[in-house]
């Protein structure tokens, strides 16, 4: 019996070794994810609050606004600290509103329309899409805190960091803890699902055109 065990015991080890070699070869051949582009520096004044005429602000959705500066110089602002539910944007492969997306957009429109004073605090870099990253203040209050407290935004500080604004980020985190879990799917997960839905619709010629 001892002799038979000695003769057969190397076989499982050999099988394991071959499996490891095969896995290593597969890993070497598997395509690596493409690195994300490095952020570009912010060409506009940043690091301090600048005043914005409320009449120049257009609301895209709950976390994105456009400031139409005089002289035909629009600036798209991706508001820091938050991720709000998505609204229908065919150009971004989001063919359907996410639940609570229209409500978040309505909240933003109301907040900015009623503001007597708006200020923008730009980060030092743009996002990968060339948009300004910044906190926006409505009548002196951090808009990101307001929308989180209303239950219409997920805090994004945990995922992306404070972007050089630790005090503002801490304020958002405190508001998120007080508000509790948001009543909607994480917008990042929803965007991923909508990409798959959009691909399926396009393959069948059913993706909406307007």
CA 104, 107, 113, 115: dihedral to nearest 10 degrees? -120
Q: What is the pLDDT of residue 33?
A: 38
Q: What is the 3-state secondary structure (H, E, C) of 68-96?
A: EECCCEEEEEEECCEECCCCCEHHHCECC
Q: How far is CA 117 from CA 74, 139, 142, 167, in A?
A: 19, 5, 12, 21
Q: Is 115 helix (H, G, I), strand (E, B) or coil?
A: coil
The DSSP bridge partners found for residue 75 are: 67
Q: Is 146 helix (H, G, I), strand (E, B) or coil?
A: helix
CA 189, 191, 192, 197: dihedral to nearest 10 degrees? 130
Map out the domains of the chain with their CATH numbers: 49-203 (2.40.50.90)
Q: Could you tell me which of 133, 60, 69 has the C-alpha nearest to residue 91?
A: 60
Per-residue pLDDT of the chain (210 residues; tens, 9 = 90+): 444 444 444 444 443 444 444 434 443 343 343 345 677 999 999 999 999 999 999 999 999 999 999 888 999 999 999 999 999 999 999 999 999 999 999 999 999 999 999 999 999 999 999 999 999 999 999 999 999 999 999 999 999 999 999 999 999 999 999 999 999 999 999 999 999 999 999 999 999 998
**Cα maximum dimension of the chain:** 92
Q: Could you tell me which of 124, 175, 131 has the C-alpha nearest to residue 152?
A: 175
CB atoms under 10 Å from CB of 131, counted, come to 15
| Contact in structure between 26 and 96 (CB atoms under 8 Å) | no
Q: In this structure, what are the phi and psi dihedrals at residue 69, rounded to the nearest 5 degrees? A: -60, 155
Q: What is the pLDDT of residue 37?
A: 61
Residues 128, 34: Cα–Cα separation, whole Å: 14
CA atoms within a 13 Å half-sphere pointing along the CA-CB vector of 138: 18
Residues 210, 202: Cα–Cα separation, whole Å: 14
């Amino acid at each position: 019996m001892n002799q038979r065990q000695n003769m057969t015991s190397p076989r499982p080890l050999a099988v394991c070794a071959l499996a490891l070699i095969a896995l290593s070869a597969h890993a070497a051949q598997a395509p690596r994810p493409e690195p994300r582009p490095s952020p570009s520096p912010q060409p506009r004044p940043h690091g301090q609050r600048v005043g914005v005429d409320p009449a120049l602000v257009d609301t895209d959705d709950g976390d994105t606004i456009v400031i139409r500066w005089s002289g035909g110089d629009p600036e798209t602002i991706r508001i820091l600290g938050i991720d709000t539910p998505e609204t229908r944007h065919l150009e971004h492969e989001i063919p359907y509103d996410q639940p609570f997306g229209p409500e978040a957009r309505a909240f933003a429109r109301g907040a900015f329309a009623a503001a007597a004073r708006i200020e923008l605090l730009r980060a030092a870099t743009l996002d990968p899409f060339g948009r300004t990253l910044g906190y926006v203040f409505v009548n002196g209050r951090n808009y990101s805190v307001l929308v989180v407290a209303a239950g219409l935004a997920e805090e994004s500080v945990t995922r992306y960091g404070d972007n050089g604004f630790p005090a503002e980020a801490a304020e958002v985190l405190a508001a998120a803890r007080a508000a509790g879990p948001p009543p909607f799917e994480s917008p990042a997960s929803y965007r991923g699902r909508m990409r798959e839905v959009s691909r399926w619709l396009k393959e069948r010629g059913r993706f909406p055109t307007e």
